[in-house]
Amino acid sequence: MEIEAQTGLAGGSDRSAETRGKILDAAVQEFSANGLAGARMDQIASVAGVNKALLYYHFDSKENLYSAALEMISTKTRDATMATFLRDASPGERVLRSALGHFDRILAQTEFQSLMQQEMMRLHKGESGAMDLLIKRVFAPMLAMYQSMVREGIASGELIDTDWLQIHLASLGTNVFYFMSSQLWRELLPYDPFSPEVLAERRKTVVHFLGLAIFRDRERGAELAEKVLADTPMPEIRVDKSPFGVKHERKK
Amino acid sequence: MEIEAQTGLAGGSDRSAETRGKILDAAVQEFSANGLAGARMDQIASVAGVNKALLYYHFDSKENLYSAALEMISTKTRDATMATFLRDASPGERVLRSALGHFDRILAQTEFQSLMQQEMMRLHKGESGAMDLLIKRVFAPMLAMYQSMVREGIASGELIDTDWLQIHLASLGTNVFYFMSSQLWRELLPYDPFSPEVLAERRKTVVHFLGLAIFRDRERGAELAEKVLADTPMPEIRVDKSPFGVKHERKK
DNA sequence: TCTACTTTACTAACCAGTTAGTTAAACTGA
DNA sequence: TCAGTTTAACTAACTGGTTAGTAAAGTAGA
């Protein structure tokens, strides 16, 4: 028995696995750009270079394909994140590293963030969809690890004595908010908030600020921030920035 | 000449103004719950208690109605926010107050936040829509005021010397992220993250954390946080929490 | 000969927007 | 003061474009 068959519903050959991969990639693109309702099955088929009927052959429905795409990208993201937590370093340093990793991951791959935002809004409306699974398999383990990391840091006296969730929210929230509102900053700030230079500066500021905010000894926080930044280069920014996805408009 | 006629497109009688108000309220509800694409004109009409054609009589199109609804609620929010900035207090205290005010505003009225989130995603896709106007009339003045407030605080030595934008992002980001992911926390945390007690605790933590993070003198930050919290009671939480909006499903 | 895939043509639903008409209040002039 | 006229506010029923999903028959490779 093979190891796959997690996401797809049909067949199991090499060829079909490859095709499913192409479809999933196209689906991630289309869904992250247009949302579940806004995405067009024809567009996904066209980008994947296959016939529309094939989407229904492999994944039974639009929702099914959506779930599969969501699961694929989430698993990827989880594995990348968990790696940060497991480094050999003090809890405080790992908190800084994970904040930086989060920043870089959003930079390098917008799709996950975009899909999550949409999924949050769907969850709000009670259309849980594929989220239940993700919560158990992706978010719960990540959060548990984060929690024990921060608690360890508080217990050892390295970090200030505050709610561990607050540190988590402050780290992630700042990044998510910045990228979420990116187009707003573009209009509001007198400089381009997504030029490589400005991004590098933001990255620094995020980590330094966190260093000043959460460490008992602010000087140590600043030093660690410096160290973490020094050995983590900023990822390449993808060039396909703004026009990401295709608009679908009704004709008049 | 009358003062109104800003949002609506037709007539100007008392009766029509009242009807337009009802339609706009219904529209805010439906659009914030379902997004521009997901909202149903039939549903808005039904909630407003009028015929669908009347929506087209008063506002020419779905997009037009959307813009009008967005503008109405944004103006409301801006006025509430500006009030915080203008209090007679030190810059640092006003920063704390505005963070708390932001938290409370999201609590008391989810619609604005929800609409903004959606509008951010549309902006990303280049469908700027009504946002250009809002940026000039709502966000630009708020941001300018915030910036000078923080800079004043840094200049006087009250606040740490960091990018003013970082303080802004950290304050707002934490709140936005918490409420955006509310349903996720509901599943992940061992307690209800939206019970009045937990919310009160979050509110405290947010302000205290900011006090510790941005003030040169941490003790002063803690004291000011205490003071600000003491004279700002938490708003009532609306009871119509989770099921906000109506789902639209295709029939099989 | 089976699995993976294509092609073409279709349907059923959905939903923004329109049309053609109704109601009632306000205005007009003799 | 009231019949006649206009106009703003509103409705019921329909139209037409769009799109998820299906059906059925066929092709290519291993």
Which nucleotide is closest to the Cα of A251 by its C1'? D17
Is the minimum distance from the CB of A14 to strand D below 7 Å?
no
CA-CA-CA-CA torsion sign (B177, B183, B185, B188):
negative
Query: Does the pLDDT of residue B239 top 80, yes or no?
Result: no
As assigned by CATH, the class of the A63-230 domain is mainly alpha
> Which tens digits make up the pLDDT trace of A130-141?
788 889 999 999
Domain extent listing, chain A: 10-60, 63-230
Q: Do B170 and A169 touch (CB under 8 A)?
A: no
Q: What is the pLDDT of residue A246?
A: 40
How far is Cα A49 from Cα A21, in angstroms, rounded to an integer? 12
Q: What is the pLDDT of residue B236?
A: 84
Which conformational region is residue B172 in: left (phi greater than 0), alpha (psi within -120 to 50 degrees), or beta? alpha
Determine what percent of chain B is predicted with pLDDT higher than 90: 65
Q: How confident is the model at residue B121 (pLDDT cuts 50, 70, 90)?
A: confident
> Which tens digits make up the pLDDT trace of B72-111?
999 989 988 888 888 889 999 999 999 999 999 999 888 9
Query: Does the pLDDT of residue B141 top 60, yes or no?
Result: yes
Q: How confident is the model at residue B238 (pLDDT cuts 50, 70, 90)?
A: low
B201 contacts in chain A (CB < 8 Å): 163
Please compute the mean of the pLDDT values over residues A183-208 and round it to a whole number. Answer: 94
- Crossing angle, helix B164-180 and helix B196-214, to 10 degrees? 160
Which has more pLDDT, A246 or A130? Answer: A130
Within residues 5-64 of protein chain A, the ones with CB less than 7 A from nucleic strand C are 10-13, 15-16, 18-20, 49-54, 57-58
In chain B, % helix, strand, coil (3-state, to 5) comes to 70, 0, 30
Which has more pLDDT, B154 or A80? Answer: B154
Which is nearest to B128 in space by CA: A177, A243, A120, A121? Answer: A243
- A41 shares contact with chain B (CB less than 8 Å): no
Q: What is the pLDDT of residue B191?
A: 95
User: Which architecture, in CATH terms, is A10-60?
Assistant: Orthogonal Bundle (1.10)
Q: What is the pLDDT of residue B1?
A: 26
Please compute the mean of the pLDDT values over residues B136-148 and round it to a whole number. Answer: 93
Q: What is the pLDDT of residue A69?
A: 94
Q: How confident is the model at residue B12 (pLDDT cuts 50, 70, 90)?
A: low
Nearest beta carbon to residue B120 from set A181, A244, A247 = A181
Neighbour-count burial of B100, counting CB atoms closer than 10 A to its CB (0-12 exposed, 13-18 middle, 19+ buried): buried
Q: What is the pLDDT of residue A111?
A: 92
Pick the most confident of B49-58, B94-103, B129-138: B94-103
What is residue B202's three-state secondary structure? helix
Identity of the residue numbered B190: P
> Which tens digits make up the pLDDT trace of A210-237?
999 999 999 999 999 999 999 999 998 7
- B163 shares contact with chain A (CB less than 8 Å): yes
Distance from CA of B20 to the nearest CA of A (A): 26
Which has more pLDDT, B38 or A229? Answer: A229
Q: How confident is the model at residue A183 (pLDDT cuts 50, 70, 90)?
A: confident
How far is Cα B145 from Cα B82, in angstroms, rounded to an integer? 8
Distance of CA A50 to the CA centre of its chain: 28
Which residue from A minimizes the CA distance to B113? Answer: A121
Can you identify the CATH homologous superfamily of domain B67-230? Tetracycline Repressor, domain 2 (1.10.357.10)
Is the minimum distance from the CB of B41 to strand C below 7 Å?
yes
Pick the most confident of A52-61, B61-70, B113-122, B161-170: B161-170
Both tokens of A247, joined, read 């608009």
Q: What is the pLDDT of residue A2?
A: 30
Radius of gyration (C-alpha) of chain A in whole angstroms: 20
Identity of the residue numbered A47: V
- B190 shares contact with chain A (CB less than 8 Å): no
Q: What is the pLDDT of residue B243?
A: 36
Please compute the mean of the pLDDT values over residues A173-201 and round it to a whole number. Answer: 94
Which CATH fold would you assign to the domain B11-60?
Answer: Arc Repressor Mutant, subunit A (1.10.10)
Assess contact for A124 and A131: CB atoms under 8 A.
no
Which is nearest to B9 in space by CA: B54, B39, B76? Answer: B54
- A242 shares contact with chain B (CB less than 8 Å): yes
Pick the most confident of A48-57, A145-154, B77-86: A145-154
Is the minimum distance from the CB of A41 to strand D below 7 Å?
yes
| ipTM of the complex, rounded to two decimals | 0.87
Within residues 29-58 of protein chain B, the ones with CB less than 7 A from nucleic strand D are 50-54, 57-58
- Tell me the count of A-B CB pairs closer than 8 A: 147
Please compute the mean of the pLDDT values over residues B226-234 and round it to a whole number. Answer: 96
Contacts 24+ apart (CB under 8 A), B198-203: B199/B107, B199/B234, B199/B237, B200/B234, B201/A163, B202/B103, B202/B178, B203/B100, B203/B103, B203/B104, B203/B229, B203/B234
Query: Does the pLDDT of residue A142 top 50, yes or no?
Result: yes
Query: Does the pLDDT of residue B38 top 90, yes or no?
Result: no
